[in-house]
Structure 1
Amino acid sequence: MSDSVPIPSFIKFVNGGISATVATVIVHPLDVLKNRMQMAGRDISVTESQKSMGYIVRSMIKEKGVSAFYPGLSAGILRQATYSSTRLGLYNTLFTVTSGKDNKPPGLPVKLGIAMISGVVGAAIGTPAEVALIRMTSDAQLPIADRRGYTSVFNALARIAREEGIATWWRGCIATMGRAAVVNMAQLASYSQSKEMYLKTGYFEDNIVLHFASSMTSGAITTIASLPVDIAKTRIQSMKIINGVPEYSGTVNAMVKVVKNEGFFNLWKGIVPYFARIGPHTVLTFIFLEQINQAYKIVAFQNSSKN
């Protein structure tokens, strides 16, 4: 049977990158909106009504029409090609390694551990694209004189290296790795655990319905757990250096300043577009990944049968 065909580790990395990239292209406008809402929260000159999702959507459409929702798409694609290829490929590889001889899935603590490792490694590799993505998606919200005007992710990375030093590619890397640890523990471990739990109920089979239910559960858990860290990461990666001093000294400092200056619940500012982005992205990523993996197994099984 095709289900018994093993998937090489290299293919797991490729399939992970493809599935996440396709999902990103679909949900990119929501990522842009989420970043704009998070950046609006820090501007004291902006009224509360101007920080609302509805106002920001209307202003974006008024500025540039539909194209306002697609800045930084090239950076988003590069981010998935680096970050998600690594985290999904590494998680699935480690999942196989830690499974029992009878293919019994590892326990929840092991799932959490390998998810955290996969996320941290992926974040370290994908941070340069992440920095470019944050800057490109929030550029239109800056005063005209301060806008960077990057034309593509490669233009952004080249200018950042030339104007600010190549080390700036990894600005906020620790915050990004911290967020990735939280996101991947919540997302990957909860997806695997949800699949097992739903299958045990007897109401599900291993098909697209199960994948949808598991990924929706994973998306909700991931949203609540990771949004505060994501806001801190966004602030750090888009911050300016004032008189030689950075606005934030780290993730915790950024979160403390958000609570102090804007209120505790602003740690979940933009939760609707964030979930609207995380939910569909999680669902699409896992559904595409499952279907791509299954297609690979079928083709590999057919080829082995011919031989």
Structure 2
Amino acid sequence: MSASTNNGKKPQQIPKSIKFLFGGTAGMAATLFVQPLDLVKNRMQLSGEGGTKRVHKTSFHALRSIIANEGVLAVYTGLSAGLLRQATYTTTRLGIYTSLFEYATKEGKNPNFFMKAVIGCTAGGIGAFVGTPAEISLIRMTADGRLPEAERRGYKSVFNAIYRISNEEGVATLWRGCWPTVARAMVVNAAQLASYSQAKEGLIKTGYFSEGLFLHFVASMISGLVTTFFSMPVDIAKTRVQNMKVIDGKPEYKGAVDVISKVIRKEGIFSLWKGFTPYYARLGPHTVLTFIFLEQMNKYYKRLVLKDMSEGGGGL
């Protein structure tokens, strides 16, 4: 028990600015491990588009094709965009979520599942809007290698991508596909953050789990599976809208609904879950690593800075 508790005082809380910082840092650290999976997921979701592009039958086929045609280092294409996306999107969403979660916690009682989902939607939507420029840069950079040499955009970094998109296509293009991105983020965060919190509580109640890394790992994998199933149709719409080109003033898709209807009509309804394996393989570990890094940073901040030696540190 902490000294502050022994003195009858309410334990100090982690400052909101630190929560935002830890959220982004945790997401960036996780991205260093899962960027290749993000690349494969994007290539799979674009596979078959237009009927003339290279089709990837499985995740392993996609990965093997990328390495064979573009080199081993190509699996980290778009890393700078992935890191900036986490620095903007994840910093915002986890910072807002933990702050609202803390506000909604009354007399030591956590908010119910519905309230967690509402908080998750809010945090995800705001975070997605902030992170859309990095998101669209990431989609384009990871998709570039699948195009013929003459059609590639050839962005050198995320900052080069943002500059060129703004200069060549207009600043508004940085928020192309913003609404499907926001919709996806709301679905992802409602499912991911709420299911993670709920899974932790449920696992602890079984009596077989206690606060620690193993609990965080199992709760994260459950959360990742739930999130993957519900968010993939929205994600494939977002990916294709953000990657599309405008030819003679006419965009390939009118919007997210147009993408989904065309995918179902031309590729079959199950194509909405195309790339499920790399998506979950990416989202699962990313969820695990993000929450583990976040929980550990919170725990050690409480111990080293706030001198709070009580168990638990995540606040999720």
Instruction: Give the aligned partner of residue 159 of structure 1.
Output: 164
Q: 1:90 and 2:121 equivalent?
A: no
Structure 1 unaligned regions, length at least 5? none
TM-score by length of 2: 0.92
| Distance in 2 separating the partners of 1:10 and 1:52 | 42
Question: Is the 2:43–2:142 Cα contact (8 Å) retained in structure 1?
Answer: yes
Cα displacement string for residues 191-246 of structure 1 (whole angstroms, at most 9, x for unaligned residues): 01111111111111111111111111100001101111110000000011133222
Q: 1:55 and 2:74 equivalent?
A: no
| Distance in 2 separating the partners of 1:34 and 1:107 | 33
Instruction: Give the aligned partner of residue 232 of structure 2.
Output: 227
Q: 1:187 and 2:212 equivalent?
A: no
Structure-to-structure mapping, 1:255-274, within 5 angstroms: 255-274=260-279
Structure 2 unaligned regions, length at least 5? 6-10, 310-316
| Distance in 2 separating the partners of 1:91 and 1:214 | 17
| Distance in 2 separating the partners of 1:156 and 1:164 | 11
Q: Cα RMSD between the aligned structures?
A: 1.6
Distance 1:47 1:141, change over 3 A: closer
Query: Secondary structure of 2:43's partner?
Result: helix
> Which residue identity is paired with 1:6?
Q
Query: Secondary structure of 2:307's partner?
Result: helix
> Which residue identity is paired with 1:79?
R
Residue 253 of structure 1 deviates from its aligned partner by 1.6
- Aligned pair count? 302
Worse-matched range after superposition: 192-201 or 157-166: 192-201
Structure-to-structure mapping, 1:104-115, within 5 angstroms: 104-115=109-120
Residue 47 of structure 1 deviates from its aligned partner by 7.0
Instruction: Give the aligned partner of residue 304 of structure 2.
Output: 299
Question: Is the 1:41–1:51 Cα contact (8 Å) retained in structure 2?
Answer: no
Q: Which has the higher helix share?
A: 1
TM-score by length of 1: 0.95
Q: 1:129 and 2:134 equivalent?
A: yes
Query: Secondary structure of 1:55's partner?
Result: helix
Instruction: Give the aligned partner of residue 44 of structure 1.
Output: 51
Residue 303 of structure 1 deviates from its aligned partner by 9.4
Cα displacement string for residues 267-307 of structure 1 (whole angstroms, at most 9, x for unaligned residues): 00000011100010000000111001001000123399xxx
| Distance in 2 separating the partners of 1:41 and 1:184 | 29
Cα displacement string for residues 45-74 of structure 1 (whole angstroms, at most 9, x for unaligned residues): 3576x4332332222111232111011100
Instruction: Give the aligned partner of residue 183 of structure 2.
Output: 178
Instruction: Give the aligned partner of residue 8 of structure 1.
Output: 15
